Chains A and B, each alone.
Chain A
Amino acid sequence: MTTQFPLKTGKGRLFIQPDAEAGREISRRKDKRLVSKLTTVKDAVNRYIHDGDYLALGGFGSNRISTSLLHEIVRQKRKDLGLAGHTVTHDCQILAAGRCFNRCDIAYVVGLEARGLSRNARSMFEDGSVEVTEWTNASLAWRFKAAAMGLPFLPARVMMGTDTFEYSGSKEILCPFTGKKLLALPALSPDVALIHVHRADIHGNCQIDGIIMADDDIAKASKRVIITTEKIIPVEDIRREPNRTVIPYWCVDAVIEMPFGSYPANMPGEYFSDEDHLKEWLAAEKDPETFKAFLEKNIFGCSDFYEYLQINGGIEKIKLLREKEFLSN
């Protein structure tokens, strides 16, 4: 029943070592009192995101992302960040614009799905500025889940036999029950998670409409969690429908009310992605001077997210994107 094949180990670097005991300590120390965690984007980035931190980004690249926090990271010139590339698309494009990261666990990077590839993000991965370890969407989702479960690893049946495995940080193991080969996926506990949600109370209890992606597990797996929310709701609303709470407050360190805060990405049930603006971004990357001016206009020259939204059409644009979301135009 046992296999004769030698068990292999991927040669990719583990940017974060699994440490279930450390995870337990962090959970123990989290504030369980219902206190307000309301703050601002500037303060949250300043206080909770440091050079060298490892980041997990909620949502799915161009859907339900925390654009305001990403822009602020670029504005505050964070450097040497680590990144969980669990399908990162426009979010990664923003951080690449500031050349903010130097290592990445890759499932999906540099592309914007059907929209094409980001030339600037791609260059970072081609010129050696980013150290990479290869993974897959499932393996990263399950690595977050392992950490969320308080375990050092989870077994899975993906990646085996491929170069993706060879360049990963996983290990082959034998199932103690069947003797069959499995893959051990090390738990991933990011330093900081940035998650945009539909509704949260001031303590950080969060509701999400539509797909959750991996955000429940990411919130539980991460040492610090910053929530931006379309809307602050009273705790009574949370208590009325407790089955809707996807992220419990004790995971959360900061809460910021940011209506339209996923723009130009899609926010399910609220507004569709601004495809024209995303196209403009991709096109601007083709020429360094054009891109520099583009970033000056859209990020560095803006004092905050709403200035950025304003110069790209403001509330009128959002109204159009809402129509598009509801398929009425």
Chain B
Amino acid sequence: MADFNSMELMICIAARSLEDGAVVVVGTGAPCAAAMLAQKTNAPNLVIMFEAGGIAPLLPTMPISVGDSRTTHKALMASTMAEIMENCQRGLVDYCFLGGAQIDRFGNLNSTIIGSDHSRPKVRFPGSGGANDLASLCWRTMVVTPQDNKRFVEKLDFCTTPGFLNGGSSRADSGLPEGTGPYRVITDIGVYGFAPDTKEMQLLSLHPGRNTDDVCNNSGFEILIPEKYEYTLEPTEEELRVLRDVVDPLRYIIGR
């Protein structure tokens, strides 16, 4: 059994979910590491885009900013913010990877404020950035986040970024493009999807050493546990080697 930490596990799972030839918009941090890992393992033709304009770079190292020079290293195109977002709006982009301070049962995300008074928030976070746009427009939204009661909440303080909104058909009714929405939520405990009808979060696979109590006890809302769910495959030696030696040798992401 390989030895790995939960960040390494999350990145490996995220990387595996990206098929060869897919188009993905990523930010810095874990999502970028996952895309780099995928490109160097199962998805050599993965098209990586950065919201500031970088298209299909061959990433030499992890970018610090989604607009820094690394995001266009040996890229196929150096474009604009509008170009990237218009690609998303046109339906070209399969996946986006997001995180947030809070997530609810329908995969909606908060990265704006903590508190109830928008003009005097208890905590001000950066805001949407491109998150709302990407989650509105990309076919599938992937969320990578540690799981605990503070992050998995019954009610968001602020809905920055759309998941399935109020569940059911509410996302489609809102005017957002059809057939889009949250696809997977990858945490340190399991991988979740969404029930086809109600659009509530449900367990798809449990990580090694985790049980359904961990799933329930680390969420402020009830995560559906279907009768049948899977067990997450551990990262392979090869995945860990590439992740540690090539993707993040200075352990910026996986070392934390």
Mark A residues whose CB is within 8 Å of B.
3, 5, 59-63, 85-87, 89, 106-111, 113-115, 117, 122, 125-128, 131-132, 134-139, 141-142, 145, 156-164, 167, 172, 180-183, 209-214, 216-217, 266, 268-269, 272-273, 275, 325, 327
Contacts and interface: CB of A to CB of B under 8 A. Distances in A.
18 contacts: A5-B173, A117-B126, A128-B120, A131-B119, A137-B129, A141-B80, A158-B89, A161-B165, A161-B174, A164-B112, A164-B127, A181-B175, A182-B175, A209-B78, A210-B72, A211-B71, A213-B81, A273-B64
B119 to A, nearest CB: 6
B68 A134 contact: no
Interface residues of B, number: 60
Contact of B52 (A87, A134, A145, A167): A87
A109 B127 contact: yes
B146 interface: no
Contacts, number: 205
B17 interface: no
Main secondary structure of the interface of A (DSSP, over half): loop
B174 A181 contact: yes
Given A162-B162, A181-B174, A138 B127 contact: no
Interface string B20-34: 000000011100000
B56 to A, nearest CB: 13
Contacts of A128: 119-120
A161 B162 contact: yes
A266 B69 contact: yes
Nearest to B132: A136
B51 interface: yes
A125 B121 contact: yes
Interface string B159-188: 111100100001101111100000000000
Given A85-B127, A134-B112, A210-B72, A161 B137 contact: no
Contact of A213 (B27, B67, B108, B252): B67
B65 A266 contact: yes
A158 B137 contact: yes
Contacts of A131: 119
Contacts of B248: none
Contact of A111 (B54, B72, B126): B126
A216 B80 contact: yes
A314 B66 CA distance: 27
B81 A327 contact: no
Contact of A137 (B119, B128, B158, B175): B128
Contact of B133 (A60, A158, A161): A158
Contacts of A273: 64-65, 68
A212 B54 CA distance: 10
B47 interface: no
Given A61-B67, A62-B68, A212 B80 contact: yes
B81 A141 contact: yes
A113 B85 contact: no
- Which of A145, A167, A183, A275 has the most chain B CB atoms closer than 10 A to its own CB? A167
Contact of B121 (A59, A126, A268): A126
A144 B117 CA distance: 29
A138 B123 contact: no
Contacts of A109: 124, 126-127
A300 B127 CA distance: 30
5 tightest A-B contacts by CB? Answer: A181-B175, A211-B53, A60-B67, A161-B174, A138-B133
Contacts of B53: 211-213
B85 A137 contact: yes
A182 to B, nearest CB: 7
B122 interface: yes
B23 to A, nearest CB: 16
A183 B124 CA distance: 26
A113 B175 contact: no
A5 B132 CA distance: 22
B118 interface: yes
A198 to B, nearest CB: 12
A183 B175 contact: yes
A114 B64 contact: yes
Contacts of A63: 52, 65, 67-69
Interface in B27-84: 27-29, 51-54, 60-61, 64-69, 71-72, 78-82
Given A108-B126, A160-B175, A216-B80, 9 more contacts: A61-B67, A108-B128, A132-B118, A137-B133, A161-B175, A162-B108, A162-B160, A162-B162, A164-B161
A157 B89 contact: yes
A182 B137 CA distance: 13
B229 interface: no
Contacts of B112: 134, 163-164
Contacts of A217: 80, 82
B170 A161 contact: yes
